[in-house]
């Protein structure tokens, strides 16, 4: 968790700017938990559990922030 908190700057991120987030899939012969959470502008976290929980928190059900989840849910329709 400290690694995830550490990649974000101490100052607020600019408003109305996209924050790209990627989650990698596990390799064909690797551990299913070997995912990475990548923020191209900020860095990456190589922890599959944090990657999974981050995405579930924002994109499962109503999520933490409906404004963040809305474009994703509209693309799924």
Output the pLDDT for position 11: 81
Q: Tell me the pLDDT tens digit for each residue of 23-47.
A: 888 777 767 667 888 888 888 888 8
Alpha helices of 1-77 — where are they, by DSSP H?
2-7, 48-59, 66-76
Measured distance CA(2)–CA(6) in Å, rounded: 6
pLDDT value of residue 72: 56
- On the question of pLDDT at 67 being above 70, the answer is no
- 52 and 24 in contact (C-beta within 8 Å)? no
pLDDT for residue 46? 87
């Amino acid at each position: 968790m400290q690694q995830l908190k550490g990649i974000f700057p101490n100052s607020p991120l600019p408003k109305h700017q996209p924050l790209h987030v990627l989650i990698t899939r596990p390799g064909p012969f690797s551990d299913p938990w070997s995912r990475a959470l990548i923020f191209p502008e900020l860095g990456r976290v190589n922890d599959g559990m944090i990657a999974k929980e981050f995405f579930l928190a924002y994109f499962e059900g109503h999520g933490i922030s409906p404004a963040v989840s809305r474009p994703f849910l509209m693309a799924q329709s």
